[in-house]
Structure formats: C-alpha cells, structure tokens
C-alpha cells in the first residue's frame, strides 16, 4: 500500500475488483438468491431481479465507488468531504451513517447463516450426508435450527475467523483468498451444474428459473428483488464506498463496476441452476422451502455422488470463505470510522464491533427456535425484522439518497474527473439513468413494498 492524502491506496490494479467481488459474492448469491427466487415463484422474480440490477444496482454501484474514491476516507467522512467540495449540506453524510448501521445489522445475522455452512462442512467431512433423501435432509436442517448451542458455537467460530484475518492484515489475506478461492468456487459450481444436469431434472429447474409467468408478479416479490439487488452487490452498506476509497486513480470505474456486476450475477444464476434441478428431482423438497433450500437440496447430491464427501466438504468450505470475504467488507466501514474519528487501534475497533455484532446475532439465533412465534411488528421475528429493516428500508433509502445526491447535487467537475477514463457517451448514459430512472424506480418500489407489508 502507498500512502496518499493520509489514506492508503491499493497498489495493485486488480485489488479493487478482487475485493469488491469478494464482498459481492457470498451467501447472497448461493444461499439467498435461490431461496427467495423459490419463494417468489421463479422466472418473474428473476426478471425483476435482473432489471433491478441493471437499472438500479449497477448505476448505484458506480456512484458508490466514485464517492468513496473522491472522498478518500471511511463512508461517513468521505460523504462529508464530497458534500463540502460541492457546497452541499453536511446532512448528506447520513448516507454514510445509514450504511454503517445497515452493515452492522447485516453482519449480525449473516454470521449466524455462515455458521450453518460451517456446521455443514463438518457434517460433509464425516460423510454425514450418505444416502440422504429429501426427508432426511429436511430433518437434519430442522434439527440444527433448534440446537441453540451448536448455532452459537458456529456463529462465534465464524466471527472469530473474521477477527483473525483482520488482525493478520486484510489486504494480503483477502487478495489471496479471492484470487484463488473465488475461481475455485466457480469451478466447483460448474462441476455441480454438470451433476445436477445429469442426476436432477434440469429442464424443470431451468424452466422454473427462466420462464416468465405474468401471474407470478407480486409487489412483495418486486420489493424483495430490489432489496436483494442492493444486498448482493453490497450496496448502501458502506462496504463499496470504503473499498472505493482505496482504489487508485488510473482505474476505470464503469468497467470495474460492470465486471463486478457480471461476476456476481453469473454466480447467483449458476447457484440457481444447480439447486433447482435437484429440488425438482427430489420429492420432499419444495422450491419455496425458505432459508433452508440450499441446506436441504445440496446434501442430497453430496450424499449420492461419487467422492461426495470431498465435494461436499470443499463446497461448504468455499461458501463459508465467500461469506467471510463479504463480512470483512462489512466491518471495514465501521472500523475505518472508529480509527479515523476516535483514533481507535484497528484491532480494538474490530473486536468491539465483532462483539456487538455477536450479541445482536443472538437475537437471530433465538428467532430460529425459542422466539419462532414472537412477533415484534407485523408478524416478524427479530431475525425477520433485521432483514426487513436492512434490505427493505435502509438499503433502498441509502441507495435513493446516493442516486439523488450524485445525480442532482454533486458538482459536475469532480464527477467527470473521477470518471475521466470512461467515454463521455457512457458517462452521459450512466448519469441519465442515475438521475431519472433509478431514483424513481427505487422510490416507487420502496413505497409499494412498505404499503404491501403493513397493509397485507
Ligand atoms: N454481497 C454479499 C452477499 O451477497 O452475500 C453480502 C454482503 C456483503 C452484504 C457485504 C453487505 C456487505 F457489505
């Protein structure tokens, strides 16, 4: 790393792409995308999701990278600097605050789910999936949800893993992890795709994912598709802005964002193409099985395929590592803020945040068992509420504010300077979408989603 304006800049050109892809690709792609697609009927949801990625996610991704790089600081301070430069209100730094808050809440429940994958690593290694059918897979998953001590043990282990890598230095650990493990995860998904095509009902899975049926469109689906587009690209959580602040100037933001977007979407679709053929070939699993979908469908495959123990162990390990490269990016904004503003030592800042996330994560653990029927608001458990507040409230609002700020309030000169490496035609296209299309769509979907939630 090289120091400039008292803020480190990544020396290697590819580091930003690697880090941003590491942040984007995670449980959202492999665990979440298939299950929310399954719960929302398939093809129509996928179309809405892809539209949200293109018309909203990618333009906001570009805006966030640009803001981070322009501000060269943690999201909160970066927004203050950028706002000062354009003579706009200091209140725009609320974008940074909301990002840090959303990232923290997401970290709390994300680590619980990452804990499930760690439990599955050990089960796969023991050959525990041998001869699994839909019923056995369901029973194993349900038993895990009720086992508080195991859930807490793995949640803690996962957060300790995250703490450990941060103490050993993020850049090197992260670069190595992403450079080697991401391609490996991709290859393994391709192998599993081959197996799913051979042993599963590929035609049914493919149709489910890509056949558009008008009657499947729903307001809830649209609102979830929007929230997921932000979640999967790690937007509105400060993560991308924090990474953008380390990005060197000689790198094109538009191209970089497009690369990250394509990789992220490809992995999600690939995961769907692996999971649904298996779901349709196995009685006892429903596409709408909910959060357990990946955890009940894939063990059947690993229990039946040759060398399933090895494939199963490596697969769940890679998913855990993909989750881990995402949580590192969730920590970064808050840690950077505490070190800049209160002169915290990096390690102390990390440990403090990880401990608080662990405490909040316990509410997610209990929501899976003891508090299953506890309704805080509108029938939501604390876990449901955490996902609702982040994915359907904070992320859309943060992205809306970002789009409005960059589109309408930021001065054109600094904006153009950050995107100087990109052709002016693409610059104008991007700005037009960000100015008019993205905010309008986000606002409409956000309002309809909230009305649907509380009126329904
Ligand atoms: N994008 C990650 C995923 O899809 O799993 C999740 C995530 C990572 C969300 C980092 C937020 C974030 F800051």
CATH number at residue 373: 1.20.1740
Residue 408 near residue 369, CB atoms below 8 Å: no
Candidates 158, 237, 264, 390: which one to mutate for ligand 1, based on the most atoms within 8 Å of Cβ?
237
Tokens matching residue 93: 């730094």
Nearest-CA residue for ligand 1 atom 7 is 234
Ligand 1 center to residue 323 CA distance, Å? 8
Total domains in the chain come to 1
User: Which pLDDT score, from 0 to 100, does residue 337 have?
Assistant: 81
The whole model's pTM is what? Answer: 0.93
The verdict on the CB of residue 237 being under 6 Å from ligand 1 is yes
Question: How distant is the alpha carbon of residue 96 from its chain centre?
Answer: 18
Q: Does the pLDDT of residue 344 top 60, yes or no?
A: yes
How many other C-beta atoms lie within 10 A of the C-beta of residue 270?
A: 19
Nearest-CA residue for ligand 1 atom 9 is 234
Ligand 1 center to residue 404 CA distance, Å? 23
The verdict on the CB of residue 367 being under 6 Å from ligand 1 is no
Mean pLDDT across 314-333:
89
User: Which pLDDT score, from 0 to 100, does residue 11 have?
Assistant: 66
Find, among 49, 57, 30, the residue nearest to 212 by Cα.
Answer: 49
Reported as a single tens digit per residue, the pLDDT across 28-84 is: 999 999 999 999 989 999 999 999 999 999 999 999 999 999 999 889 999 999 999
Of 10-14, 122-126, 287-291, least confident by mean pLDDT is: 10-14
Q: How far apart are CA 245 and CA 251, in angstroms?
A: 12
Nearest-CA residue for ligand 1 atom 12 is 234
Nearest-CA residue for ligand 1 atom 11 is 234
Provide the domain limits for residue 203. Answer: 2-455
Nearest atom of ligand 1 to the alpha carbon of 232: 4
Nearest atom of ligand 1 to the alpha carbon of 238: 13
Average pLDDT, the chain: 91
**Chain position carrying tokens 């649209």:** 222
Nearest atom of ligand 1 to the alpha carbon of 333: 13
The verdict on the CB of residue 325 being under 6 Å from ligand 1 is no
Reported as a single tens digit per residue, the pLDDT across 207-220 is: 999 998 888 889 88
Residue 441, helix vs strand vs coil: helix
- Kindly indicate the confidence band of residue 173, based on its pLDDT and cuts at 50, 70 and 90: low
Q: How far apart are CA 336 and CA 345, in angstroms?
A: 10
User: Which pLDDT score, from 0 to 100, does residue 276 have?
Assistant: 96
User: Which pLDDT score, from 0 to 100, does residue 363 have?
Assistant: 98
């Amino acid at each position: 790393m090289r120091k400039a304006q008292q803020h480190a800049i990544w020396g290697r050109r590819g580091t930003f792409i690697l880090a941003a892809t590491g942040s984007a690709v995670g449980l959202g792609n492999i665990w979440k995308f298939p299950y929310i697609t399954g719960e929302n009927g398939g093809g129509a949801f996928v179309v809405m999701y892809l539209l949200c990625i293109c018309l909203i996610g990618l333009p906001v991704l570009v805006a966030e990278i640009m803001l981070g790089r322009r501000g060269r600081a943690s999201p909160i301070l970066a927004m203050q600097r950028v706002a000062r430069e354009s003579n706009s209100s200091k209140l725009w730094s609320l974008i940074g605050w909301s990002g840090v808050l959303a990232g923290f809440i997401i970290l709390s429940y994300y680590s619980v789910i990452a804990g499930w994958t760690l439990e599955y690593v050990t089960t796969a290694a023991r050959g525990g999936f041998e001869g699994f059918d839909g019923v056995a897979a369901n029973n194993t998953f349900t038993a895990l949800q009720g086992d508080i001590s195991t859930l807490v043990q793995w949640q803690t282990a996962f957060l300790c893993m995250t703490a450990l890598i941060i103490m050993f230095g993020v850049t090197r650990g992260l670069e190595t992890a992403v450079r080697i493990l991401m391609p490996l995860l991709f290859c393994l998904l391709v192998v599993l795709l081959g197996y799913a095509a051979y042993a599963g009902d590929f035609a049914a899975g493919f149709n489910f994912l890509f056949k558009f049926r008008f009657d499947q469109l729903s307001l809830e689906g649209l609102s979830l598709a929007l929230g997921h587009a932000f979640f999967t690209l790690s937007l509105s959580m400060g993560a991308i802005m924090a990474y953008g602040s380390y990005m060197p100037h000689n790198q094109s933001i538009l191209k970089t964002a497009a690369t990250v977007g394509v990789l992220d979407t490809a992995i999600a679709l690939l995961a769907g193409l692996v999971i649904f053929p298996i779901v349709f070939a196995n009685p006892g699993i429903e596409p709408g099985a909910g959060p357990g979908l990946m955890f009940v469908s894939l063990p059947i495959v690993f229990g039946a395929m040759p060398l399933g123990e090895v494939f199963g162990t490596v697969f769940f390990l890679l998913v855990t590592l993909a989750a881990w490269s995402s949580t590192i990016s969730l920590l970064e904004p808050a840690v950077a803020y505490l070190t800049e503003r209160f002169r915290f030592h990096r390690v102390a800042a990390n440990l403090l945040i990880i401990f608080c996330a662990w405490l909040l994560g316990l509410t997610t653990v209990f929501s899976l068992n003891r508090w299953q029927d506890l309704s805080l608001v509108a029938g939501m458990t604390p876990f449901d509420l955490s996902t609702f507040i982040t994915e359907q409230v904070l992320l859309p609002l943060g992205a809306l504010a970002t789009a409005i700020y960059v589109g309408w309030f930021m001065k054109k000169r600094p904006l153009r300077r950050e995107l100087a490496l990109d052709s002016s035609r693409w610059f104008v296209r991007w700005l037009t979408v960000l100015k008019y299309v993205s905010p309008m769509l986000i606002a409409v979907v956000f309002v309809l989603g909230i009305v649907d939630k509380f009126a329904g």
